[in-house]
Amino acid sequence: MRKGRIDYRMRRRAVLRDVREGLTSCDDVRDAHPDLLRAASHIGTATREPCPLCDVHTLTHVDYVFEGKGARTPSGRAVPRETVAAHADRIGDLQVYVVEVCLGCHWHHLVESYLHEARDTDAIHG
Ligand SMILES: [Zn+2]
């Protein structure tokens, strides 16, 4: 079950506005980490949404999961979207961060985060 969804579109719009107005260099927002790019091309979820920066390629979403409520530790890892529920059922509640990436120009931004609750907590600890 999804809970506590946070949408980062406002922040994304602000970043894009800064780029358009020249307050932020294009290169500063096209610095996707090689690990993120690798995750995007191997286990990412393709979208039909065009990249807001280059407008040539479409965006890919990468889901990062972190154990526990509100946790955001280096233990987070990218997992295929279709396995998030299974991970939650096995490990427990997961904080999920969805990042959009352009494999063309390397734009990346946080899209949303939410808590994915395990289906049956008793089953995990029992
Ligand atoms: Zn792009």
**pLDDT at residue 91, as a whole number:** 84
Closest CA to 30 of 17, 38, 19, 41: 19
Confidence tier at 1 by pLDDT (50, 70, 90): confident
Q: How do residues 72-123 score in pLDDT, each as one tens digit? A: 555 688 999 999 999 898 888 899 999 999 999 999 999 999 999 988 655 5
Confidence tier at 34 by pLDDT (50, 70, 90): very high
pTM for the full predicted model: 0.87
The alpha carbon of 37 and the centre of ligand 1 are apart by a number of angstroms equal to 12
The alpha carbon of 50 and the centre of ligand 1 are apart by a number of angstroms equal to 8
Query: Domain tally for the chain?
Result: 1
- In this structure, of 10-14, 49-53, 54-58, 117-121, the range with the lowest mean pLDDT score is 117-121
Q: Any residues with CB less than 8 A from the CB of 57 and at least 6 apart, and which?
A: 50, 51, 102, 103, 104, 105
The alpha carbon of 56 and the centre of ligand 1 are apart by a number of angstroms equal to 6
The alpha carbon of 92 and the centre of ligand 1 are apart by a number of angstroms equal to 35
- Please give the residue range of the domain that contains residue 85: 2-125
Q: Are 36 and 101 in contact (CB under 8 A)?
A: yes
H-helix or E-strand spanning residue 88: helix 84-91
